[in-house]
Amino acid sequence: MSFRAQREGSIKRTVYVSDIEHNVTEEQLAALFTGYGHVLDCRICGDPHSRLRFPFVEFGDENSARATLNLGGTMLGSGKC
């Protein structure tokens, strides 16, 4: 499999999570998404001390990623996913 094909597959299995509170951890985020499929990776990028954080969750398959679309507006801690 080419690098490009691997990258495209990874993108299709990855979801972006918006509007998380600054105190939400990668572990909490992964735990929430585990109910939708096998989580390969969960990262919160950006400045950990500001609201400029960019969380991504990568699943083992595309169907799991699609299933998470039902989580819009879900509360995690004191914030929404």
**What are the backbone dihedrals phi and psi of residue 35, each rounded to the nearest 5 degrees, phi first?**
-65, -10
User: Among 3, 33, 2, 1, which Cα is nearest to 17's?
Assistant: 33
Report the predicted TM-score, pTM, of the whole model to 2 decimal places: 0.78
pLDDT digits (tens, 9 = 90+) for 20-56: 888 888 999 999 899 999 999 999 998 877 778 889 9
Distance CA 58, CA 11 (A): 8
For the cut 80, the answer to whether the pLDDT of residue 70 exceeds it is: no
Give domain 3-80's CATH superfamily. RRM (RNA recognition motif) domain (3.30.70.330)
Instruction: Give the start-to-end residue ranges of the domains of the chain.
Output: 3-80
Residue 56 burial (C-beta neighbours within 10 Å; 0-12, 13-18, 19+): middle
